[in-house]
Amino acid sequence: MLSDKLMKKLTWLKVIVVSGILLFSQTAISFQHYVSDRIKAAYVFNFIKYVEWPNEQHTVNFTIGFYGKDQAYYEVLKQMQGMKVRHFSINVIKITSFEQTQKLHLVVLDKSQSKHIKKIAKLLNGQAVLLVSDNAADKRYTMLNFINTDENRLAFELNRYQMLNAKLKVLPDILVLGGTELEIANVLKEMNKTITDSLQQIQDQSSKLEQLKGNITRREKQLTLQQNQLQTQQNKLELQYKKSAVQQETLNLQSHQLKSQHDELEQSKNSFQAMQNNYSQVKNELDVSQVQLLSNIDSLASLKNEIQQKEHAISTLEEKINERKILLLNSERQLATQSGVIQTQYIVLIVSGVVSFAILIILIVIYKSKKIQHKVNQELHANIEVLAEVNLKLSTTQNQLVESEKMAALGQLVTGVAHEINTPVGVCVTATSHLSDQIDLFEKKYKAGKLTKPHLEQLLSDSRASSDFLLRNLQRASELIQNFKQVAVDQSNENSREFELKAYIEGVVQSIYPQFKQGGHNIHVSSNSKIQLNSFPGVLAQIITNLLMNSLHHGFKEKNHGEIFIELSLRNKEVTINFRDNGVGLTNQQKERIFEPFYTTARSTGATGLGMSISYNLITGKLNGEINCLNSSEGAHFRITFPQ
């Protein structure tokens, strides 16, 4: 009896414990969903800050529509009712159909409705409505799509193509919220594939249509022949009607066969009509795709306009630099004028001293001479101060121009490296995307229980190929970045260090080589031996950069497939650099003035004329060497020598 009571108590205790665990787990899951909904609502609130709608300056009430069955999600969004963001006042409503979208600015889909993203996106096509989905599978039709990462964190994906198609402007800072951007190239690639598939379907259906037309034509000929035969038989039947009842039965049988063939012909005509309707539908879908493609072309045109505006800003900056050059030339002229005045005053002072010495006897004249001398000294001192001030301004301006030239060279280096890195990084993104798709396919096969050995071998093959692509292209990008880091650091400071000359110059050439690719130019660096230096690599980088850019902009201005040769040699502890190209070359007058400041033959295109002057000063001042422009039968030839 006692044991039965104890067993009952233990049973009730187990029931209570299990009920408590279930209640706690259910509460934890509910709390997790509530936190997730709160984070999504916070994201939606921040999305409004980083997206611009057309004619939004006239909008006061910003309407958010919720479409779905997740009531908890809607209640969290409803808490934003009346809140202010930018100049909007937020209004949250729940929609049951898309006839209400005329007054909406943003539509939020829960998970149940995000499965129908393609249908909803087509209903919203052309409207300036931001679509926020939740784990939508079809990425082509999303705009802002919430995703759950492997670390069980909430993030979002950005499809800039669909947002531009809806005439929404996306600020670049939106990715600061922790999102990732879908590749527009992949979206366009999928769209192109869809259009290609549609065209293939049209071609297949056209082929079937032609076959049906041929079948119908053949059957019509057969029907005409049979009708002629029937008419002949009927004529014979009228003559023989009274003679043979058997022939009448034969005629009835043939009429029945003719009717059956006529029914088959009607069915063929109906099939032909259905295929014509299907062809019209596919053609309409193709027209819609072409309209979207034209919209994409317009978006690309707007991006080109923005690039042209930036180029105009660069031209304005070059005009300001030219104005500073003119001011510097005026300062030099004033300095020359003041130097002449000082020299004249100095002669007057000497004459006054001689005269004062000749008439020492006359005290009054001596006094006046001393007074004049004192006044001249004051003017001379004032002129010397003015000269010092002008010299200081001239030195400051020259330093600014030198820094501008260095920054321009560094800017060209950054542009070239960014363009060069874009290719291996793009290949890495493509390989990673392909590998991710193969893993997703493998996972679906695994979960469906359809996994076979060929599937596993295919995954291993794709993984190995993608890994090879990633490794090669990442190594390429790493080498480019390493060269860029070293050259950029050397150009931004003037510290000395040990380096091997040929390897360093090859790094400089590799950093700016993308600018020579467009014209198909080649740069060759050679050396008779390894040359170890303890010198100023930044100085050498700027000198080589100036020579290369001169060849590109002046020597190869109207020429493609140019050749540049940089030959290095070391003899008796003296380094020689021979720089030659096969461009348009230099005249005798240009060779005499090539190292003068502000001398250039391309003033109209914005050239400063300081590149070779700065190179000359760096070689003679920093490297204690010399540079000469030599005669050449083809192109330009410069020889640089400096001690090891």
Structure token pair of residue 462: 């794709």
Q: Which of 461, 460, 473, 459 lies closest to 429 in space, CA to CA?
A: 473
Would residue 334 count as lying in a domain? Answer: no
Given the structure tokens 């860029």, which residue do they identify?
484
Would residue 628 count as lying in a domain? Answer: yes
Q: Which of 182, 209, 224 is the last residue of a domain?
A: 182
Q: Do 124 and 199 share a domain, yes or no?
A: no
Given the structure tokens 């493998």, which residue do they identify?
442
Q: Which of 134, 165, 182 is the last residue of a domain?
A: 182
Residue numbers of the chain with a pLDDT score lower than 50: 1-2, 24-25, 28, 184-185, 187, 489-490, 492
User: Domain span at residue 238?
Assistant: 189-316
Structure token pair of residue 243: 């003679």
Would residue 327 count as lying in a domain? Answer: no
Q: Do 235 and 310 share a domain, yes or no?
A: yes
Q: Quote the crossing angle between the two packed helices 363-447 and 501-512, to the nearest 10°.
A: 70
Q: Report whether 466 contacts 433 (CB < 8 A).
A: no
Phi/psi zone of residue 292: left (φ > 0), alpha (ψ -120 to 50 degrees), beta? alpha
- Read out DSSP for 279-343? HHHHHHHHHHHHHHHHHHHHHHHHHHHHHHHHHHHHHHHHHHHHHHHHHHHHHHHHHHHHHHHHH
Q: Do 604 and 503 share a domain, yes or no?
A: yes
Q: Report whether 146 contacts 40 (CB < 8 A).
A: yes
Would residue 414 count as lying in a domain? Answer: no
Single-letter residue type at 148: N
What are the residues whose beta carbons fall under 8 Å from the beta carbon of 519, sequence distance 6 or more? 552, 556, 559, 560, 561, 562
The predicted pLDDT at position 24 comes to 44
Q: What is the CA radius of gyration of the chain?
A: 43
Would residue 536 count as lying in a domain? Answer: yes
Beta bridge partners of residue 523, listed in sequence order? 564
Q: Do 95 and 211 share a domain, yes or no?
A: no
The predicted pLDDT at position 42 comes to 87
The predicted pLDDT at position 123 comes to 85
Q: Do 176 and 35 share a domain, yes or no?
A: yes
Given the structure tokens 């939004």, which residue do they identify?
56
Tell me how far apart the alpha carbons of residues 142 and 408 are, in angstroms, rounded to a whole number: 41
CATH code (residue 574): 3.30.565.10
CATH code (residue 173): 3.40.50
For 463-614, strand residue ranges (E) read 497-500, 522-527, 532-535, 563-571, 574-581
Q: Do 587 and 610 share a domain, yes or no?
A: yes
Q: Report whether 600 contacts 608 (CB < 8 A).
A: yes
Q: Do 520 and 575 share a domain, yes or no?
A: yes
Structure token pair of residue 156: 């979002």
Q: Do 178 and 210 share a domain, yes or no?
A: no
Q: Which of 287, 316, 345 is the last residue of a domain?
A: 316
Tell me how far apart the alpha carbons of residues 618 and 624 are, in angstroms, rounded to a whole number: 9
Q: Report whether 490 contacts 409 (CB < 8 A).
A: no
Q: Report whether 548 contacts 638 (CB < 8 A).
A: no
The predicted pLDDT at position 513 comes to 83
Given the structure tokens 């509910």, which residue do they identify?
30
Helix (H, G, I), strand (E, B) or coil at 140: helix
Model's pTM, two decimal places?
0.33
Q: Do 155 and 278 share a domain, yes or no?
A: no
Q: Report whether 625 contacts 641 (CB < 8 A).
A: yes
Would residue 466 count as lying in a domain? Answer: no
The predicted pLDDT at position 587 comes to 87
Annotate 106-143 with b (16+ C-beta within 10 A) or e (fewer): bbbbbeebbbbbeebbeebeeeebbbbbbebeebbbbb
Q: Which of 489, 642, 612 lies closest to 546 in space, CA to CA?
A: 612
Query: Residue 591, class by beta-carbon neighbours within 10 Å (0-12 exposed, 13-18 middle, 19+ buried)?
Result: middle
Would residue 377 count as lying in a domain? Answer: no
Would residue 347 count as lying in a domain? Answer: no
Number of domains in the chain: 3
Q: Do 242 and 114 share a domain, yes or no?
A: no
Q: Do 161 and 49 share a domain, yes or no?
A: yes
Single-letter residue type at 441: L
Task: Kindly state the DSSP code that residue 168 receives in the 8-state scheme.
Answer: P
Helix (H, G, I), strand (E, B) or coil at 411: helix
- Read out DSSP for 493-521? ----EEEEHHHHHHHHHHHHTHHHHTTT-
Q: Do 156 and 211 share a domain, yes or no?
A: no
